[in-house]
A and B are shown apart, each in its own frame.
Chain A
Amino acid sequence: MLINHPQLGPRDAAEFVYLGDASLMHRPDAQSPTAAEEFHDYLHLRDNPAGVHRELWYHEQGDRAWLIVTRNTLTHEITNVQMARDVALAEQQGHVAS
């Protein structure tokens, strides 16, 4: 597979380490009254779709960026690659703003 790194262009998948569902970026709030349940779900319950999947890849043999790769698990077609930090910043700042 080739992953089109937003900053480095197409890179061979062998340079990356796979983590899993991008929902891992949404760590629950430890202060929440239901924190234990939320952390349980966060850690153990993931969707495993046959189709489009947003997932985390780490460019370990490269620039050490975490990427969010949108990949079709049936065809391996990759339709989007984002810098995970940019996404996290946008989400968190959006959250703060609202």
Chain B
Amino acid sequence: MNNESMRVHDGLLPDAAPISFIFNERKYTARVGDTLASALLANGQKLVGRSFKYHRPRGIFSAGPEEPSALVELRTGAHREPNTRATVTEVFAGLEASSQNHIGPLGFDVMAINDALSTFLSAGFYYKTFMWPKAFWEKLYEPIIRAAAGLGKLSVQEDPDTYEKGFLHTDLLIIGAGPAGLSAALAAGRAGVKVLLVDEDFLPGGRLNLERFDIDGQSSAQWASNAMAELTTLPNVRVLTRTTVYGVYDHGIYGALERVSDHLPTGSHDKPRQILWRIYAKRSLLCSGATERSIAFGNNDRPGIMLAGAARAYLNRFGVSPGKQIAVFTNNDDGWRTAVDFQAAGVEVTAVIDTRSIAPPVDINVPVFMGNRVCDTAGRLALHSVTLTSGETIYCDCLAVSGGWSPNVHLTCHQRARPIWDDTLAAFVPGTDLPAEMQVAGAVNGDMDLASALNAGHQSALSILKNTGNNAKIPPAPQANAESSRITAFWQVPDCLGRAWIDLQNDVTTKDLQLSHREGFRSVEHAKRYTTLGMATDQGKTSNVLGLAVMADIAGQTIPQTGTTIFRPPYTPIPIGALAGRSRGKHFRPTRLPPSHNWASTQGGSFVEVGAWLRAQWFTQAGETHWRQSVDREVLQTRKSVGYCDVTTLGKIDVQGRDAAQFLDKVYANTFSTLKVGRVRYGLMLREDGFVMDDGTTARLAEHHFLMTTTTANAVSVFRHMEFCRQCLWPTLDVHLVSATEQWAQYAIAGPNSRRLLEALVDEPFDISNEGFPFMECATLTVCNGTPARLFRISFSGELAFELAVPARYGHALMDALAEHGKAFDAVPYGLEALGVMRIEKGHAAGNELNGQTTAANLGLGRMVSAAKDCIGKTLSTRPALNTNDANQLVGFIPVDSQQSLRAGAHFIDEGAPLTLASDQGWMTSVAYSPSLQTSIGLGFIRHGQERMGDQVLASSPLHNEQIAVTIVSPHFVDPQGERLRA
């Protein structure tokens, strides 16, 4: 069948030139305004997929976002998107779709063997069947199950689409543009309220487009169209179509996904694919409507069996008849409208079967079976007949089933409210504990007929106007007839021979729920997890209430006693790409570039991420083939002559105020109030629990002005901590903090020729001699003919060294100047690796040693904790357990065999001791190859370290099956007396 032979009239779609699309490599035609589902049905394609577990043939079950069965893969290549609901996919010219979850052709799926094996595949089967032998699970069972289960397949390529994030602020968010939503939007919009109206369909109107109702003398679809036309002219109203509000968050924040270009051919536009909106709404009105549900009877899952309202939707909106012979099976009056509409359209209606033993609610000239039920169906790949409990066989290729309508209460429950069971509606309605500032109106609130829904939307808008003091005069609510929607709850047809499906998406039948009950998984939350009822892409929109009712039946309880599972965001699936937005790849977080970055990238620099910073690791020169060659050269040349290195990334905090010195005394373990202006001091900062938090140097630039530095990694957290101290602990102190990390480019210039190099840069009359500018001095000066600068005589390398800071914008130029003037001394730029080697050679602690588990005493800095004053961490640093005699002490290590390389993380044990925790003496924190000593060296913590100089222990790494004999030495491998840095 082809050529849209099942399109019986125009519906709401203009009869324009057809567009073509591809399904399973075959070309079909469709109309603009079709969904993929309506287009497939128009072409008589009923079989569209295979079920999750049993690979049963499946067709189109619904006409909206609730679809459990008609899941397809869209597009090809990297654009392929699995598990897409055909019922909400707009057809466009060239759309490529294919069915999923089958091996071989859709009509002959070899995996359908699972259906014959269904006895072994009941709920929880893999917990029971695949238990032994245990080793088989990972290698055999799981791969097979994973390959067999699941639905569509990912492209396994990077998502080529772009996604955006957006933020919207509104006074009134109206969710859903059906009868209630449109009525409310018109009332509020006409009164001048700032309204955001959101609808997930591409044609707003909800069921107004699906029914043959009249409003104010027009067809409901025309009324909806007119309403939308008016709303789009109102400057205070914004309408988002193709947009699903998927979650309700705290304080009036809503998540919404707009499908901006999913309905456009790939490559035909430059728009993002989707926008994830964060909506800040002062109040909201939920008009999300209701979703129809099925009835459980034998073999109720064949292609051609669909919800009665969906059948009507295909007919009235798309002009498509899902079959040539329609039968209706219902427990309510609404189902009868399907029979009426199809008969009016000239489609044969072969029967109406109503579970209720009442007079037929509609006078209709078709075979009517009151108080009867469908108990089985026939037709392998498509329905051809149904059997009633009374024994009759009814021929039909479409069975329209209505088990009643369930209000879409999901969003009312995202703040943990529970819905309430309404016996008259046989449905859950929103509870009283709604999210703050949310109202509900229309079918979601149980206003099932059109007149009530229109009026409820209007009245809700009026109450909002009243509450906000808006006295605008607006026209009255639109008028319509109230149709009947009487229902008598009926859930499952008893004593059916065939399996009766509840959840089509997860292949959950009534038998699975019985099994779950028998095996003790009786709470709804347990039964859900055990049977998978209500999981996956549809989250049980058509199956949950039916499942609860069947569980209540089995347990002999009422539905309210059984309760519901918790509704959580998202309402419908949200692509990970949309949640990520632009935060992908390099844009995942900002990259911070130090001021010399561009310069370094022209000098053979290799870069490494340090937090968000990109720092030069080393500078490769011609002929160097291994990074160690570059690093060794940089270290040796710096120690021999001079080297320079960008240390801008260290945190810089400007501390000013009359009480700045007192403040620093409180946050640092050592004292800064005694520091003279123009001097620099190393500071050790503790956490309140007594462990070391951070370290760095602080310069006193003026009486009430300090510039302190933090480690690169802790720049943010130390600043946060200091603001806490300033604002929350000592608010009376006159002190102010500003982060200056990015304002100043700062370079270390180290090596015996560093002073001579700087002599060429500093302006007269600055005296940079050892007498004029001794070790641990700081100064404000100018360099390079007038560039403002700060100079610090501090050394991390152990050499005669300086750190020179200039405003960041001069950073590149200063590097040029250093390189230019450094030529006379064969000066080298050095990177992070050489910096690390030199600090290990000097025995300076860094991040590996300040890992949050070490105390000042561990580091050999116990005397820095001033006894004369209180400071953060002082009291608890005196805890006895932190001050035992056998505490770890920082020392140095060299391998006994200088050919061996040490390994950070190795643990120290005595020779001959067993490799157990009890033998553990400490651990190696930092290692490097020292080109100065021509051996591998390490720093580490070991018990009694200071008393064990010269001892041999084993550095053991069981992970690498490695034990290296090491000698305990002073951590100061180079210039232990500190003569060079004072030179």
CA distance A30 to B250 in the complex (A): 41
Q: Which of A2, A39, A64, A76 contacts B876 (CB 8 A)?
A: A39
**Residues A66-98 near B (CB distance < 8 A):** 66, 75-78, 83-85, 88-89, 92-93
Asked if A43 contacts B720 (CB within 8 A), the reply is no
Query: Which stretch (B315-323, B330-338, B726-734) binds chain A?
Result: B726-734
A42 to B687, CA, bound (A): 13
Q: Contact string, A27-42, partner B, CB cutoff 8 A, digits 1/0?
A: 1101100011001101
**Chain A residues with Cβ under 8 A from B726's Cβ?**
85
**Contact status B731-A88, CB under 8 Å:** yes
B910 at the interface (CB under 8 A from A): no
| B876 A66 Cβ-Cβ under 8 A | no
Q: Does A52 contact B (CB under 8 A)?
A: no
Q: Is B724 an interface residue (CB 8 A)?
A: yes
A25 touches which one: B251, B280, B728, B870 (CB < 8 A)? Answer: B728
Nearest CB of B to A53, in Å: 15
Nearest first, the 4 closest Cβ-Cβ pairs linking A and B are A30-B870, A85-B727, A2-B251, A88-B731
Question: Closest CB-CB distance, B877 to chain A, in whole Å?
Answer: 10
* Closest A residue to B433 using CB positions: A75
Question: In whole Å, how far is A32's beta carbon from the nearest beta carbon of chain B?
Answer: 9
- Do A88 and B720 contact each other (CB < 8 Å), given the known contacts A36-B876, A43-B689? no
- CB contact between A2 and one of B280, B688, B729 (< 8 Å): that residue: B280
Task: Write out the residue numbers on chain A whose beta carbons fall within 8 Å of the beta carbon of B727.
Answer: 65-66, 83-85, 88
Q: Would B251 and A1 count as touching, CB distance under 8 A?
A: yes
Name the distance in Å between B115's Cβ and chain A's nearest Cβ. 47
Task: Let me know if B723 and A66 touch, CB within 8 A.
Answer: yes
Contact of B8 with A by CB under 8 A: no
Q: Indicate if B50 sits at the interface (CB-CB under 8 A).
A: no
- Among B723, B731, B875, contact of A39 (Cβ-Cβ < 8 Å): B875
Contact B732 A89 (CB under 8 A): yes
Cβ of A1: which chain B residues have Cβ within 8 Å of it?
Answer: 249-251, 253
The answer to whether the Cβ of B874 comes within 8 Å of any Cβ in the partner chain is yes
Distance to closest chain A CB from B530 (angstroms): 29
Given contacts A31-B870, A43-B688, A83-B727, 9 further A-B contacts (CB under 8 A): A1-B253, A25-B729, A28-B875, A30-B874, A30-B875, A36-B876, A42-B688, A64-B723, A85-B728
Residues of A within 8 A of B (CB-CB), count: 34
B878, CB-defined interface residue at 8 Å: yes
CA distance A69 to B723 in the complex (A): 17
Enumerate chain A residues within 8 angstroms of B905, measured Cβ to Cβ. Answer: none
Q: List 18 A-B contacts (CB under 8 A).
A: A1-B251, A1-B253, A2-B251, A13-B250, A24-B724, A27-B688, A28-B875, A36-B878, A39-B688, A43-B688, A43-B876, A56-B728, A58-B720, A60-B716, A65-B727, A66-B724, A85-B727, A85-B731
**A window 1-48: CB within 8 A of B:** 1-2, 13, 17, 19, 24-25, 27-28, 30-31, 35-36, 39-40, 42-43
B252 proximal to A (CB < 8 A):
yes
The range of chain B's interface size is 20 to 34
> Which residue of B724, B728, B732 has the most chain A CB atoms within 10 A of its CB atom?
B728
A88 touches B728 (CB 8 A): yes
Interface of B with A (CB < 8 Å)? 249-253, 280, 415, 436, 688-689, 716, 720, 723-724, 726-729, 731-732, 870, 874-876, 878-879
Q: List chain A residues, Cβ under 8 A from B280.
A: 2
Q: How far is the CB of A29 from chain B (nearest CB, A)?
A: 9
A97–B878 alpha-carbon span in the complex (Å): 33
Q: Chain A's nearest CB lies how many Å from the CB of B811? A: 25
Contact status A2-B250, CB under 8 Å: yes
Query: For B879, what are the chain A residues with a Cβ–Cβ distance below 8 Å?
Result: 36
- CB neighbours (8 Å) of B716 from chain A are 60
Q: Which residues of A contact B (CB under 8 A)?
A: 1-2, 13, 17, 19, 24-25, 27-28, 30-31, 35-36, 39-40, 42-43, 56, 58, 60, 64-66, 75-78, 83-85, 88-89, 92-93
Inter-chain contact B720/A92, CB cutoff 8 Å:
no
Q: Which residue on B lies nearest to A65, using beta carbons?
A: B727
Rounded to whole angstroms, the CA-CA distance of A13 and B250 in the bound complex is: 10
Chain B residues with CB under 8 Å of A58's CB are 720, 723-724
Q: How far is the CB of A9 from chain B (nearest CB, A)?
A: 12
A77 to B, closest residue via Cβ: B436
Cα distance A97–B720 in the bound complex, in angstroms: 30
Q: Specify which chain B residues have a CB less than 8 angstroms from the CB of A56 in the assembled complex.
A: 724, 728
Nearest B residue to A14, CB-CB: B278
Query: Given A43-B689, A66-B723, A76-B250, are A24 and B875 neighbors across the interface (CB < 8 Å)?
Result: no
Residues in A with CB closer than 8 Å to B732 are 89, 92-93
CA gap between A85 and B732 in the complex, in Å: 9
Give Cα distance in the complex from A56 to B726, angstroms: 14
- Option from A30, A60, A66, A78 in Cβ contact (under 8 Å) with B728: A66
Do the beta carbons of B729 and A76 come within 8 Å of each other? no
The minimal Cβ–Cβ distance linking B169 to chain A, given in whole angstroms, is 10
Q: How far is the CA of A24 from the CA of B687 in the complex (A)?
A: 13
CB of A39, distance to nearest CB on chain B (Å): 5
**Cα of A2 to Cα of B732 in the assembled complex, Å:** 30
Nearest residue (CB) in A for B870 is: A30
CB of A60 within 8 A of CB of B875, answer no
- Among residues of B, the one whose C-beta sits closest to the C-beta of A40 is B876
Q: Which residue of B lies closest to A75 (CB)?
A: B415
Chain B residues positioned under 8 Å from A78 (CB to CB)? 251
Nearest CB to that of B720 among chain A residues?
Answer: A58
Min C-beta distance of A13 to chain B, whole Å: 8
- For residue B724, which residue of chain A has the nearest CB? A66
User: Which residues of chain B are within 8 angstroms of A60 by Cβ–Cβ distance?
Assistant: 716, 720
A25 to chain B: which residues have CB within 8 Å?
A: 728-729
Q: Output the least CB separation between B466 and chain A (Å).
A: 24
A75 to B435, alpha carbons, bound, how many Å?
10
Closest to B725 in A: A27
A6–B603 Cα distance when bound, in Å, is: 50
Asked if B729 contacts A88 (CB within 8 A), the reply is yes
Q: B876 to A84, Cβ gap below 8 A?
A: no
Q: Which of B249, B250, B875 has the most CB of A within 10 A?
A: B875
